[in-house]
């Protein structure tokens, strides 16, 4: 079990706060050895889905953490940060539960395709998505448990919140790059814009 997991409450224009974690690098642990096909496929999958599944991965990681450290903009009080965090976690849990109920019935026709020769990529895809939704929902449930989270203010996140609130859009890109460098997140512009689009659809 992972000892400590870190989630950043990154301010977003319409989404409120995106719950994000640092990107995990996938690498071969044996020096001098070429990575195998499974590792290459895993690395490519993570790159393809890095933006779309960013919050899902942050919640999934919490499943196996003894404690999760939540960083929030320092201008917020801790009580406000806790309330906003719970709102966001419940929103994500609801999202994954809905998609779990939608995707699960689709696993049945995908399983029937096993009679077709060759790899059943349809079954594999739906199985991965169902597990992803369930693990994210389960991680969210753990994050709402008493005594499983600690909260710390972050000046860096607060600086980005001020930029988002007070600065024109042309200032956002360089500030996002600065934020990425400081706290080790990636592709924040795409992640935050993707969350905004998803939120406007309800």
pTM over 0.85: no
> Average pLDDT, whole number, for the chain?
80
Whether 155 contacts 74, CB under 8 Å: yes
Residue 29 confidence (pLDDT): 44
SS3 53: coil
By C-alpha distance, which of 170, 157, 186, 174 is closest to 11? 157
Question: Whole-angstrom Cα distance, residue 63 to residue 82?
Answer: 19
Residue 186 confidence (pLDDT): 75
Q: Can you tell me which residue has the tokens 């499943």? A: 63
Question: Whole-angstrom Cα distance, residue 38 to residue 72?
Answer: 36
Residue 106 confidence (pLDDT): 77
Structure tokens at 6: 């870190």
SS3 2: strand
pLDDT tens column, 82-140:
999 999 999 999 999 999 999 888 777 666 666 666 665 677 777 888 888 999 999 99
The size of the chain, in residues, is 202
Structure tokens at 69: 């450290």
* Residues with pLDDT less than 70, the chain: 1-2, 14-15, 23-52, 109-121, 193-202
Residue 115 confidence (pLDDT): 62
Whether 43 contacts 5, CB under 8 Å: no
């Amino acid at each position: 079990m992972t000892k400590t997991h870190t989630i950043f409450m990154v301010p977003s224009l319409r989404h409120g706060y995106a719950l994000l974690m640092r990107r995990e690098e996938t690498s071969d642990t044996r020096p001098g050895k070429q990575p195998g096909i499974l590792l290459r496929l895993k690395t490519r999958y993570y790159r393809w889905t890095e933006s779309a599944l960013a919050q899902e991965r942050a919640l999934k990681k919490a499943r196996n953490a003894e404690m999760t450290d939540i960083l929030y903009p320092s201008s917020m009080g801790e009580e406000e940060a806790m309330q906003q965090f719970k709102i966001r976690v419940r929103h994500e849990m609801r999202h994954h539960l809905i998609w779990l109920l939608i995707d699960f019935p689709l696993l049945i026709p995908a399983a029937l395709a096993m009679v077709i020769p060759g790899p059943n990529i349809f079954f594999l895809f739906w199985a991965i998505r169902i597990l992803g939704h369930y693990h994210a929902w389960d991680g969210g449930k753990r994050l709402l448990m008493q005594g499983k989270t600690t909260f710390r203010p972050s000046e860096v996140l607060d600086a980005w919140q001020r930029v988002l609130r007070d600065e024109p859009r042309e200032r956002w890109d360089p500030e996002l790059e600065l934020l990425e460098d400081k706290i080790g997140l990636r592709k924040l512009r795409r992640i935050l814009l993707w969350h905004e689009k998803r939120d406007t659809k309800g």
